[in-house]
Amino acid sequence: MASKMTTEPGSTGLSATAADALTPVADRIRERLRKAGRRFHANDNIADFIEEGELDQLRLEVAAKIDGMLQALVIDTESDHNTQDTARRVAKMYLMEVFGGRYHPQPPVTEFPNVSHLNELMIVGPLTVRSACSHHMCPILGRIWVGVMPNEHSALIGLSKYARLVEWVMTRPQIQEEAIAQLAELLMDKMQPDGLAIVMEADHYCMQWRGVKDMESKMTNSIMRGSFLKNPDLRREFLALLSNKKN
């Protein structure tokens, strides 16, 4: 005999699994984050809270919302051949590309012991930055240089891995100052160097494409950790070498 599903008074009569399936996937992910006490700001990675298959579901939900936005902008997506598939394309672009650093786990990075006890300044860059301003979702395009002062206990990573980690951190909606602080925290934790320095120079399309429409201005900022912060000679050496590379 088939078992009957029991329900509490006032319930919908659906099993927990069925009810969960009817809940938008964005709400399910959000609820997991809240239960875990985890922040989910625009520049946070939430990959640990997305279950298998949910990213495809989320893409469909985002596409539906984008289609609603296009309708609100009074764009006839049914007869306009240029925008008939725009919602799907934009949803895919956001989740898989330009904001991919939110939804995908950290790329694998092999670390090597510093067997040669290297303790001289290393500079990596320029590395290409592709990000987006969280205020207007406009592109931020620029370059990053990373200076590392290792010690005998530091873990070293391959050159290509710097580019992968930069891309992972930068492909999120954010502001430049917070972006390089996140990158510095990640590299310090992964490499444990004596010091770390990062300089980022970028064009902000929220100034060039809208607002004041100033095409010439750039934003440059730096962050120093460990020996770069404490040793002015090391900081000067890094910045002097960087000036030569930027010209």
Break the chain into its structural domains and give their ranges: 23-103, 112-246
- Per-residue pLDDT band for 217 (boundaries 50, 70, 90) equals confident
Instruction: Give the pLDDT score at 99.
Output: 97
Beta bridge pairs of residue 69: none
Tokens representing 33?
Answer: 């984050």
Average pLDDT of 90-107? Answer: 96
Per-residue pLDDT band for 168 (boundaries 50, 70, 90) equals very high
User: In this predicted structure, which of 52-56, 122-126, 239-243 has the lowest mean pLDDT?
Assistant: 239-243
**pLDDT beyond 60 at 2:** no
Give the mean pLDDT of the chain.
89
CB-based contacts of 203, cutoff 8 Å, min separation 6: 140, 141, 142, 218
Mean pLDDT of 17-33: 85
Q: Is the pLDDT of residue 31 over 70?
A: yes
* pLDDT value for 182: 96
The residue ranking higher by pLDDT, 19 or 236, is 236
- pLDDT per residue as tens digits for the range 111-120: 887 767 677 8
- Please check the confidence at residue 67 and state whether its pLDDT lies above 80: yes
Residues 6+ apart with CB under 8 A from 79: none
Is there a shared CATH topology between the 23-103 domain and the 112-246 domain?
no
Both tokens assigned to 242 = 């960087």
**Residue 140 in contact with residue 204, Cβ under 8 Å?**
yes
Among 45, 41, 43, 46, CA closest to 180 = 43
The pLDDT of 59-70, averaged and rounded, is 97
CATH number of 23-103: 1.10.286.10
pLDDT value at residue 158: 86
Domain at 112-246: CATH architecture: 2-Layer Sandwich (3.30)
